[in-house]
Amino acid sequence: MANLTPKQIEVLTHLLDGATISRAARKAQVHRSTIYLWLKENPVFTAEFTRQRTLLAEAIADRLQELHIEALDAIEESLCGPESTPAVRLRAAIFLLKGGAAPLDKNRHFSENPELS
């Protein structure tokens, strides 16, 4: 984050932690229009924000994939486990048949999903 001021780094940290621009501005004690100006007219700030957001999105995608696997393991245990009751097995089967655990598309990159970018 070279060439960024301490305030810009602080704002980036808040934004990447999920704060809105208004909230990041309040936390960093800068006016929100300053942040909008940095995003619009400061290529170094904008590039770092974009880079950090991309890294965060990739980390989230990796974690979602890990959780998807864990969720499928849990569903499999509910469906096939020797201690599962018929009612639990039926609910797990219906969930799967309704597409509740649709397989991940290995050819689709996380950033291509507009809901997640």
Distance of alpha carbon 68 from alpha carbon 87, whole angstroms: 23
Percent of the chain surpassing pLDDT 90 = 61
The residue type of 8 is Q
Higher pLDDT, 37 or 110: 37
Q: Which residue has the tokens 């096939």?
A: 80
For 16, the token pair is 């990447």
Query: What confidence tier does 5 reach under pLDDT thresholds 50, 70, 90?
Result: very high
Q: Is the pLDDT of residue 86 over 70?
A: yes
Mean pLDDT of the chain: 87
Return the SS3 of 116. Answer: coil
Residue type, 37: L
Q: Does the predicted model carry a pTM greater than 0.75?
A: no
